[in-house]
């Protein structure tokens, strides 16, 4: 019997110790169980406790900050350092001081993100309309609550809302704030949760209060009569579309168009932009205009600069002589964020459940919640009044015979027996007896007795009135209406965003199409592009290139033709020949990576003039596969300049061939071998990133090197390499079928 193989220690060797160890460590687990036990609690926490606002209009981070400031006495007191507020808020919000301070900045008056800011700030809090104007550190700024916060905390100590323990059970915090107006519609809010998002635009406080009042009086009222449209802190002009607004009011989803406000200063021949859309920034506008100027699409503009100062936002655009400001602004509205779209997604938490609601439904939910808050307040006050009346009734019994009460107290030996003896002597309960026993001797006078008797009658009347409020929904509704009117009258402000209708706007100027004339275009291997007229080419046709560079592709076309540049990063850049200045053969031309704003290290590998987008492109990859994609796959409805995923990134690209009609193609490998096949063997695809089909089979150490139309190759013995089907191995390349210069992507 053969002996087992042993190791140096004499123990039998395992066939594969690693395998044994691996199997011992692997524990099978159902992925659905993992999602349910690990991911779902996280997702629900983000949805319920972070990203989605509730019916009071606040996220938990907002509510914790404002409540902390309220408890610090900052509603009526003087400002305190923001660092102090941030530190105190961490008792309720343990997510870090930076996150708390960012929350405070967004709620501040200085930042300007809200129509009704809740933080009265002092110092540099940055600006909502600028991404570069950052806020100062919290040790340099000060803050307190704005007066409107009194509407957020009114009667919060009267059991209007529920309170829960904070994260370490050391103090209580409110679940909601008892806002006296629908803050959910007044304060702009946005958040991204797991699998859902929320985006609220702000509405004018006066209009929201008026719309809510109209709803309370008539639930079927037309909200568009009172709630005219969104109102943004940055102003601008709302291009009103009644149908789009109605869709937002009914479904909670939709979008509105907002454009900047501007004026023309004739004496200086410049345009001043003093209000911009809420959803953009001055840097985004400046960058886009600079891009237009650089690409030659805004030739009327000499310069644009930011002149924002303490007086407010201002962007100045210097015009060239003879430029029409209306035409310039029409172009800028169409091609820059000076006209932008704000998307609405009214996703709100209702009793812990996220729901997308229209404006009418939000007002209905807020009204129901506010009605409950008012009733809870009335119950609380009613309970206090009943308790006091109960005490006074006990006092009333004793006041009818003061001498008897004094005698009972004097004749009682032990202090602990005073209250029981009073209870027995006058037939009152312990609470009443305790209250009577604490009355001072100086209060046993006629005036005091008469006042207490009158107070008893007044309390009884007040209790009857409070009971009537609870029994009469109309009176509860009247309280809500009065509080709405008070908030609107005291804190309401005029609209900042002007409403204009599409038919009121001036007719847009049609941009003159670029002049069309024949041109020759040249693309070099290193990415230099030249557009040369035939006249200039006749004068000098000696093309200049950098050392080591040379011609990649050349075409005859027109100045208005569209052109696409494919890069080695699986991207394609679309533009027009008219965007390039006329050049000469003696110049290098435009460097495309800089001209088109390509990514660092990105290079052009192929140029296509799509024309009417007929035909297709065949991409050949290093792994021997080829993908045929219709040029229509690169056609877009919008004027996008950059498309990602232009072709598959699974293997390096080696060649591109355009196929307008079926033809034979030659594919080369590094062995070297060659295979000739007909393009009809490849099925056209509409998906740009398709991996294609194998056309060339190779040994592991070889790869596909190049490909070109057969007519543009020096192959003489074509039948030797021709194949009727793909994939194929091809045949070894003979000397007479090669040329001195290799075929590359340069072929046009």
**CA–CA dist 258, 339 (Å, integer):** 6
Domain-located, residue 98: yes
**CA–CA dist 155, 179 (Å, integer):** 10
CATH number at residue 690: 2.120.10.90
CATH number at residue 437: 1.10.268.10
**CA–CA dist 208, 227 (Å, integer):** 6
Mean pLDDT for 382-394 is 90
Pair (333, 368) in one structural domain = no
Domain-located, residue 137: yes
pLDDT of 508: 66
Higher pLDDT, 228 or 739: 228
Pair (420, 536) in one structural domain = no
Cis peptide preceding 98, ω within 30 of 0: no
Which candidate in 39, 42, 111, 140 is catalytic? 140
- Provide the domain count of the chain: 4
CATH number at residue 291: 3.30.1360.40
- pLDDT tens by residue, 555-608: 999 988 999 999 999 999 998 888 888 889 888 999 999 888 888 899 999 999
Higher pLDDT, 640 or 227: 227
Q: Which residue has the tokens 């909670």?
A: 252
Pair (583, 707) in one structural domain = yes
Q: Which residue has the tokens 């003061």?
A: 402
Pair (420, 547) in one structural domain = no
- Domain boundary (124, 146, 179) is at 179
Q: Which residues contact 286 (CB under 8 A, 6 or more apart)?
A: 304, 306, 315
Handedness of CA 8, 10, 13, 19 (dihedral sign): negative
Pair (549, 417) in one structural domain = no
Contact between residue 237 and residue 254 where contact means Cβ atoms under 8 Å apart:
no
- pLDDT tens by residue, 416-434: 888 898 898 888 889 888 8
**CA–CA dist 284, 130 (Å, integer):** 9
Q: Which residue has the tokens 């080829």?
A: 626
Contact between residue 387 and residue 432 where contact means Cβ atoms under 8 Å apart:
no
Residue 12 has pLDDT above 60, yes or no: no
> Measured between alpha carbons, how far is residue 515 from residues 339, 554, 651, 657, 694 in Å?
28, 21, 42, 30, 45
Q: Does 140 qualify as catalytic in the annotation?
A: yes
Pair (331, 373) in one structural domain = no
pLDDT of 318: 94
Domain-located, residue 585: yes
Q: Report residue 246: phi and psi, to 5°.
A: -65, -35
- pLDDT tens by residue, 533-556: 998 888 887 888 998 899 999 999
Domain-located, residue 506: no
Domain-located, residue 607: yes
CATH number at residue 127: 3.90.199.10
Contact between residue 209 and residue 179 where contact means Cβ atoms under 8 Å apart:
no
Residues listed for the chain: 748
Residue 75: pLDDT band by 50, 70, 90 thresholds? very high
Domain-located, residue 191: no
Neighbour count for residue 343 (Cβ, 10 Å): 14
- Minimum mean pLDDT range among 35-39, 81-85, 235-239: 35-39
Mean pLDDT for 298-325 is 92
- pLDDT tens by residue, 115-164: 999 999 999 999 999 999 999 999 999 999 999 999 999 999 999 999 99
Pair (651, 563) in one structural domain = yes
pLDDT of 680: 92
- Domain boundary (120, 144, 179) is at 179
Average pLDDT, the chain: 89
Pair (323, 368) in one structural domain = no
Instruction: Tell me which residue range forms the domain holding 462.
Output: 364-491
Pair (535, 666) in one structural domain = yes
Domain-located, residue 133: yes
Domain-located, residue 651: yes
Residue 515 has pLDDT above 80, yes or no: no
Output the furthest CA–CA distance in the chain (Å, rounded). Answer: 138
Pair (410, 316) in one structural domain = no
Pair (94, 166) in one structural domain = yes
Residue 313 has pLDDT above 70, yes or no: yes
- Domain boundary (179, 198, 223) is at 179
Pair (525, 486) in one structural domain = no
Residue 496: pLDDT band by 50, 70, 90 thresholds? very high
Residue 22: pLDDT band by 50, 70, 90 thresholds? very low
């Amino acid at each position: 019997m053969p002996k087992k193989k042993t190791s140096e220690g004499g123990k039998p060797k395992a066939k594969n110790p690693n395998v044994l160890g691996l199997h011992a460590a692997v524990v099978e687990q159902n992925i659905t169980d993992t999602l349910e036990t690990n991911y779902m609690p996280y997702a629900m926490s983000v949805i319920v406790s972070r990203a989605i606002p509730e019916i009071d209009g606040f996220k938990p981070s907002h509510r914790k900050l404002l409540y902390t400031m309220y408890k610090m006495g900052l509603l009526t007191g003087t400002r305190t350092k923001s660092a102090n507020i941030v530190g105190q808020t961490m008792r309720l919000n343990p997510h870090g001081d930076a996150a708390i301070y960012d929350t405070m900045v967004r709620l501040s008056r200085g930042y300007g993100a809200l129509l009704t800011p809740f933080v009265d700030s002092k110092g540099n809090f940055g600006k909502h309309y600028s991404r570069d104007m950052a806020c100062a550190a919290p040790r340099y700024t000060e803050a307190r609550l704005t007066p409107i916060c009194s509407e957020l905390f009114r009667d919060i100590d009267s059991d209007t809302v529920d309170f829960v323990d904070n994260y370490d059970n050391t103090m209580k915090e409110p679940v909601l704030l008892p806002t006296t107006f629908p803050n959910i519609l007044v304060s702009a809010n946005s958040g991204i949760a797991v699998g859902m998002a929320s985006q609220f635009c702000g509405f004018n406080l006066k209009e929201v209060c008026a719309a809510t009042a109209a709803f309370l009086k008539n639930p079927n009222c037309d909200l568009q009569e009172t709630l005219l449209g969104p109102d943004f802190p940055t102003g601008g002009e709302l291009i009103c579309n009644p149908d789009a607004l109605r869709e937002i009011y009914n479904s909670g989803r939709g979008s509105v168009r907002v454009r900047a406000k501007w004026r023309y200063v004739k004496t200086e021949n410049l345009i001043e932009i003093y209000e911009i859309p809420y959803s953009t920034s001055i840097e985004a506008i400046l960058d886009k205009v600079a891009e237009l100027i650089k690409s030659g699409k805004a030739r009327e503009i000499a310069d644009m600069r930011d002149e924002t100062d303490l007086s407010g936002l201002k962007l100045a655009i210097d015009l060239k002589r003879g430029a029409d400001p209306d035409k310039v602004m029409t172009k800028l509205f169409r091609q820059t964020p000076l006209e932008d779209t704000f998307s609405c997604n009214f996703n709100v938490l209702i009793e812990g459940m996220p729901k997308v609601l229209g404006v009418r439904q939000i007002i209905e939910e807020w009204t129901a919640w506010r009605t409950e808050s008012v009733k809870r307040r009335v119950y609380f006050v009613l309970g206090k009044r009943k308790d006091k009346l109960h005490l006074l009734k006990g006092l009333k019994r004793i006041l009818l015979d003061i001498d008897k009460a004094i005698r009972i107290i004097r004749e009682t030996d032990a202090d602990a027996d005073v209250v029981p003896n009073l209870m027995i002597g006058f037939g009152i309960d312990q609470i009443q007896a305790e209250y009577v026993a604490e009355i001072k001797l100086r209060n046993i006078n006629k005036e005091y007795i008469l006042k207490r008797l009158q107070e008893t009658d007044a309390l009884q009347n007040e209790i009857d009135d409070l009971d009537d409020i609870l029994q009469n929904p109309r009176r509860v509704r009247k309280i809500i209406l009065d509080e709405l009117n008070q908030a609107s009258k005291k804190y309401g402000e005029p609209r900042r965003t002007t409403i204009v209708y599409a038919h009121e706007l001036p007719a847009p100027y049609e941009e003159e199409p670029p002049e069309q004339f024949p041109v020759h275009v040249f693309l070099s291997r290193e990415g230099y592009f030249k557009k040369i007229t035939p006249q200039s080419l006749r004068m000098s046709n000696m093309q200049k290139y950098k050392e080591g560079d040379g011609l990649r592709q050349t075409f005859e076309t027109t100045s208005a033709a569209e052109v696409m540049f494919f890069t080695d990063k699986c991207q394609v850049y679309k533009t027009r020949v008219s965007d390039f200045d006329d050049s000469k053969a003696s110049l290098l031309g435009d460097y495309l990576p800089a001209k088109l704003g390509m990514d660092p290290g990105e290079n052009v590998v192929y140029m296509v003039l799509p024309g009417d987008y007929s035909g297709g492109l065949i991409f050949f990859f290093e792994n021997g596969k080829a993908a045929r994609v219709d040029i229509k796959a690169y056609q877009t409805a919008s004027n996008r300049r950059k498309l990602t995923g232009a072709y598959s990134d699974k293997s390096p690209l080696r060649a591109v061939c355009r196929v307008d009609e079926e033809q034979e193609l030659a594919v080369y490998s590094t062995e070297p071998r060659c295979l000739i096949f007909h393009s009809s063997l490849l099925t056209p695809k509409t998906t740009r990133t398709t991996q294609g089909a194998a056309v060339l089979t190779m040994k592991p150490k070889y790869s596909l090197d190049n490909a070109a139309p057969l007519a543009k190759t020096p192959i003489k013995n074509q039948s030797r390499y021709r194949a009727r089907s793909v994939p194929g191995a091809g045949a070894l390349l003979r000397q007479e079928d090669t040329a001195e210069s290799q075929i590359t992507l340069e072929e046009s």
